[in-house]
């Protein structure tokens, strides 16, 4: 009987040691999890602070609106502007000095095209319209007025436009004659001193 009691005591001691060891191990795991949670909370807090700083910078220092960036074309020299919509993103313009044989000043507007079969003097671009500016006397003596549509005039100049004859396939649905007319209808004078 004594042997059984000794065995029971030993089993009880081993079980008690295992229980204490198990509790210690569970405590270790919990503190590890707590440390991980604490680290994650710290990282979250840092990211949140960075995010709030970025947001506050964006709202405190306004960036230029798209209209300020590219949607308003202004010609200071001849005192006019046009407003373009998103269909015109990526447009370019330049003064055309070689395609007109008259006394006018001509600004050709270009849009990027992916149509490889579309032939133009500027590779990768199509020219939907040209704004032409004539002195009033030159406009009155112009022989080919049918090539242009008058937009408006001031004391010195007549402003007119002409549109493309052929349209690249990738712009057929977006840059229609009506779309070009919408842009032309936004024409306004920016000053009256010219």
pLDDT tens digits for range 103-142: 889 999 999 999 988 887 788 999 999 999 999 999 998 8
Tell me which residue has tokens 């004391």.
155
- pLDDT score at 29: 79
* Residue 79 contacts residue 193 (beta carbons within 8 Å): yes
- pLDDT score at 60: 36
pLDDT at residue 155 greater than cutoff 90? yes
- pLDDT score at 4: 73
pLDDT tens digits for range 59-113: 333 333 344 456 899 999 999 999 999 999 889 999 887 777 778 899 999 999 9
For residue 75, give the 3-state DSSP assignment: strand
Closest to 149 (Cα-Cα) out of 163, 135, 138, 166: 163
Predicted TM-score (pTM) of the model is 0.61
Q: Where exactly are the structural domains of the chain?
A: 1-63, 66-189
pLDDT at residue 56 greater than cutoff 60? no
């Amino acid at each position: 009987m004594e042997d059984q009691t000794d065995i029971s005591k030993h089993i009880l001691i081993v079980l008690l040691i295992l229980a204490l060891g198990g509790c210690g191990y569970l405590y270790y795991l919990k503190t590890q999890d707590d440390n991980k949670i604490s680290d994650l909370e710290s990282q979250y807090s840092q990211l949140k602070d960075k995010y709030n700083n970025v947001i506050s910078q964006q709202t405190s220092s306004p960036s230029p609106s798209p209209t300020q960036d590219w949607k308003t074309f202004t010609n200071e020299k001849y005192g006019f502007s046009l407003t373009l919509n998103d269909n015109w993103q990526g447009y370019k313009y330049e003064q055309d000095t070689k395609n007109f044989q008259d006394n006018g000043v001509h600004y050709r507007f270009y849009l990027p095209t992916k149509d490889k079969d579309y032939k133009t003097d500027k590779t990768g671009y199509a020219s939907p319209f040209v704004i032409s500016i004539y002195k009033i006397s030159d406009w009155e003596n112009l022989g080919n007025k049918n090539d242009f549509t008058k937009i408006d005039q001031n004391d010195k100049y007549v402003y007119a436009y002409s549109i493309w004859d052929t349209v690249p396939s990738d712009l057929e649905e977006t840059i229609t004659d009506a779309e070009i007319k919408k842009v032309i209808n936004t024409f306004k004078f920016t000053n009256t001193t010219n």
